Every structure is written in structure tokens, then in C-alpha cells.
Amino acid sequence: MATQRYKQYSVLSVNTFAFTMMFMVWTMFGEIGVPIQEELGLSNTQFGILTSLPILTGSLVRLPLGAWTDRYGGRPVFFILMLCVLPAVWLVQFATEYWQLLIIGAFVGLAGGSFSVGISYTAKWFERDRQGFAMGIFGAGNAGAAVTKYLAPTIIVVISWQAVANIYAAIVAITAIVFWFFTYTEPQLKEKSEAPSLREQLKVLNDPKVWKYCQYYSVVFGGYVGVSLYLTRYYMLEYGVGIQLAALIATIFVLPSGVIRAFGGYLSDKWGAHTVTWVCMWASLISFFFMSYPATDYTIHGVGDRTIEFHFAMPVWLFTTLLFIVGIAWGIGKASVFKYLSDEYDKNLGLVSGMVGLFGGLGGFLLPPMFGALIDFTGVTTSIWMLCFGFTLVSVIWMWWTERRQPILTRDRYHQPTVREGEQGA
């Protein structure tokens, strides 16, 4: 009979593997969308909608899936979810019209709901002081986006974009089988009769802190997904490279941001969710400030007819370095935001993580079409980083207003110098 420790690590490893594969499927349109755009003659805005629609459906189902995980357990919910995603992934290869791709893509997007199932399922297997690290390891499954950037472009060039769907469907089927035979029912699962009703679970959403964490996660996770989906196309537009090289360079952002989440969980356990999140927000904000600067020609008019002209543009190596910093910051931040949740909402973690994950996913859904629309409207590719700078700044201000300034206000209000009796009336 398997020991408790064996079950913990078996669930953690297989759960993380399953989430990695589902995340890989969830972001597949970011790669196969490039040849589809050329084949169907889509605009940048249409390309953005195609790549982000699966993100929308995956986000919307996170809340009910999280609630069902609290009620019925992560093992059956995750397994059934994979069985629902399987036929949709397989059908992608037969789509020949844009509207068909949108409909099928919406069902493929259900794969994104696996996060709210798996994060709660993982946390319930570990003690409070180890939950941050365990959830960080699970969240490293975000690296599935990097797997897609390695695997899908190669399949597209060697075979076709339709083959990606066929191969990914086989991967989902194998993953579902492995998951069912190497996971266990979580020990804290309540009997159905004892489980709280959905109405009782939803009361936690009246807490304003939940909405603040939704905003944080829409930056660190929504930004990660949105940028991942559009990054290959961005390198092709800005630097004129081919799809394979563009996807390969993009993994410098995608892969570290996924795998470092485990380290982010460790840092959050050690230093606290607030400190880690604060540093991550500032690191990404400063990076976006420099990334936003467009290629520019300067002309300086001197004495008489003398002029000095010079050109400024972000070289690919410097841009990729700053992007790498953003990826590291967001990867750590994804873990630290969920450390907030495991500390404060352990009894409703599935529901709250589903809510926060929903808003994170909505950020990932909104960004690609907004990126495409900005480029179509302005003709400036770096305008997408100006947008990222703006929504990161909102989180920094919100965090300072509700958290950073709180100790100062508390000190001023409750720690005023006391007046000694002999000094009264002086």
C-alpha cells in the first residue's frame, strides 16, 4: 500500500505533467495561427482574436471548475476535463474556415480550466508551510507554452499545421490515462452531503481583497499568456525572422517564466507573498518602460545648416534580455499571488483560485486582440509594450495604496506618542 509521502509526490508530479500538457494545448493557436493567418489572409486583429479565444473559454470555466474541485475532488474533475478537450483538439485539423476555427478553438480552450482544478488539488495534499513550494512546482506547468514553441513550429515546417492537432490529441489521450492510474483522491475531501453549497462558497467573493488579487494575477499570468501568444508574431514583424527562429527566441521568455514558478513558491514561503509580489511588479514595470521605446530617427539642427542625425532602435539582444527579466518577474509573481490565496482562503481555495485564475485568463484573452488592434491602428509594434507598462502601473499603485502605505497609516493612527501626567496642561 502506498504511503502518504509517496501519494503526495506522485500526485504532484503527475498533476504537474498533466497541467503542462494541457497548457501546451491551450496555447497551440499562438503557433498554428501564424500559417493559418497567411493561408486565410487574416488581419493582425483577426489573428489576435483567433489565438485568444481559447484563453477566454479556459478562463470562464475556471470558476465553476474550482468550485467543483472543492466539492467533488480534483482527480475526477481533471480527468473528465481532459476527456472533454480531447475531441476538440483532434477536430482542429479539419477546419477550413475562420468561423470553424473560432468554434473549435473555443472548446480547445477548456484546457485552460485545468489550472484551477490542479492548483487546489495540489495544495490539499501538502501542509500549510509547504503549500507555496508545491503550488509553485505545479504552476511550472506554464512551461507547456514553451513546449508548444519548440514542438509546434517544427511540426508545421516538417509536416503541416494540421498535424499539430493530430499529435496533440494523441498526447492528451495518453496524459489522461497516466493521470488516472497514478493519482489519488485527496485526503481532505469532504463527503458530498457535508460539502458547502455553491451559494455558501460564493460568499467569499464579497471580500475586496479577492478582487485585488485578481488584478495582480491579470498582470503576472494574463500578461504571460497574452505575450506568449503574440511573441512569435512580434519577432517576425519587428525583426523579420522566420517562424522557427522567432518561436525559438520567444522561449527565452516563455520557458524560464514557467519553470521558475517553483522558486517563486519557495521565495513566497520564506519572505511572504507581499514582498515578493512588490519586487516582481517593479522589475516588470521598469523593463516595459525601456521596451516601449519605438525605433526613432533623430535630427539635431545646429548652427547654420549643420545637422546631426542618428538612429535609435532596440536591438534584438537587448530587447530579449529585458523580456527575459519580465518573464522571470512574472514567473515568480504567479507563485507569490497564489501564496496570498493559500494563506487566506484555504477552505475555499478551489473557488477563489478559480476566480483569480478567471481574471488572469481574461487578461490573456484580451491582450492578443488588443495587441493586434494597436499595431493595425498605430503601425508601431512597440505600442504593445506601452499597453503592458500601463496595466502593470495600475497594479503597482493599487498595491502601494492598499498594502505598502498600510503600516504607515497604522503607526500614525495607533502609535501616537503618549502624554505623561506631569506634562498635561504644559
Residue 336 near residue 268, CB atoms below 8 Å: yes
Residue 319 near residue 249, CB atoms below 8 Å: no
- Residue 383 CB: number of other CB atoms within 10 A? 17
Note the pLDDT tens digit of each residue in 233-251. 889 888 888 877 888 888 8
Q: What is the 3-state secondary structure (H, E, C) of the chain?
A: CCCHHHHHHHHHHHHHHHHHHHHHHHCCHHHHHHHHHHHHCCCHHHHHHHHHHHHHHHHHCHHHHHHHHHHHCHHHHHHHHHHHHHHHHHHHHHCCCHHHHHHHHHHHHHHHHHHHHHHHHHHCCCCHHHHHHHHHHHHHHHHHHHHHHHHHHHHHHHCCHHHHHHHHHHHHHHHHHHHHHCCCCCCCCCCCCCCCCHHHHHHHHHCHHHHHHHHHHHHHCHHHHHHHHHHHHHHHHHHCCCHHHHHHHHHHHHHHHHHCHHHHHHHHHHHCHHHHHHHHHHHHHHHHHHHCCCCEEEEEECCCCCEEEEEECCCHHHHHHHHHHHHHHHHHHHHHHHHHHHHHCHHHHHHHHHHHHHHHHHHHHHHHHHHHHHHHHHCCCCHHHHHHHHHHHHHHHHHHHHHHCHHHHHHHHHCCCCCCHHHCCC
Note the pLDDT tens digit of each residue in 319-329. 999 999 999 99
Res 426: pLDDT: 32
What are the sequence ranges of the domains in the chain? 4-187+200-410
Residue 331 near residue 256, CB atoms below 8 Å: yes
* CATH code given to domain 4-187+200-410: 1.20.1250.20
Percent of the chain with pLDDT over 70: 88
Rounded CA-CA distance 175/261 in Å is: 22
Mean pLDDT of the chain: 82
What's the whole-model pTM score?
0.69
Stretches where the chain sits below pLDDT 50 are: 190-193, 408-426
Who's near 161: CB < 8 A, 6+ residues apart?
32, 35, 36, 155
Note the pLDDT tens digit of each residue in 61-101. 887 887 788 778 888 999 999 999 999 999 988 888 888 99
Q: Which amino acid is at 188?
A: Q
